[in-house]
Amino acid sequence: MKLFAPLLDRVLNWSRHEHAPWYLAGLSFAESSFFPIPPDVMLAPMVVARPEKAWSFALNTTLASLAGGIAGFAIGVWAIDAVMPLVDRFGYSNAYALASEWFTSWGFWAVLAAGFSPIPYKIFTISAGAMAMPLAPFVLASLVGRGARFFLVAGLIFWGGPRVELMLRRYVEWLGWLVVALLVLAYMLLR
């Protein structure tokens, strides 16, 4: 049974839609402050579908993610008490405690690393606001970390060219189930 190949076709079709850059910006903003799905899942197919726009898509993703990060920072500053029950409910309490510990030890570097890595960036944006990190270093760390990540994703796919889509089609089922397994494993470890 092929589950992920039809999803790939659907995502590639969405990626070619005239409003796709707006959807990408919305996803990037939301992921940086509260939403669990990373923008890479939309950025990558958009670059596959329209490689000539790779750099503008990466910039769009970076700037929208930075804006979402600032929103997450504001949540940390003004609404941390209201948000903590949701952090607990969605299983992010251990990640939040770890982010707070890292933030206390490394501050700027923790935000930069979270911006670049698959670590839930939203936890660090909220944590940075809750722990009163100065806004300017937060913005700089976020811009560098998120920009490096999204330009790297766009660049690798641009560099790979049309063969990336062929490789995706060949391995989409295997990759899809691998992602599902990793998500289940991450869920079990965070619980």
87-123 per-position pLDDT tens digit: 788 777 887 788 778 777 887 888 888 788 777 788 8
Q: How far does CA 70 lie from the centroid of its chain?
A: 14
Cβ atoms within 10 Å, residue 165: 17
Closest CA to 122 of 26, 37, 24: 37
* Confidence bin at 191 (pLDDT 50/70/90): low
Which region among 73-77, 115-119, 152-156, 166-170 has the lowest average model confidence (pLDDT)? 115-119
Amino acid type, 175: L
Cβ contacts of 99 within 8 Å, gap of 6 or more: 110, 114, 119, 123, 124, 127
48 within 8 A of 86, measured Cβ to Cβ: no
Domain holding 9, by residue range, is 4-190
Express each pLDDT in 41-62 by its tens digit: 889 889 988 899 999 999 999 9
Place of tokens 């998120």: 146
> Percent helix, strand, coil in the chain (nearest 5)?
85, 0, 15
Alpha helices (H) in 16-134, listed in sequence order: 20-33, 40-49, 54-78, 80-89, 93-106, 108-116, 121-130
pLDDT given at position 1: 63
* Confidence bin at 137 (pLDDT 50/70/90): very high
pLDDT given at position 30: 93
| Mean pLDDT value across the chain | 86
Of the chain, the percentage scoring pLDDT greater than 70 comes to 97
What SS3 state is found at 175?
helix
Express each pLDDT in 138-150 by its tens digit: 999 999 999 999 9
pLDDT given at position 104: 79
Specify the number of domains making up the chain: 1
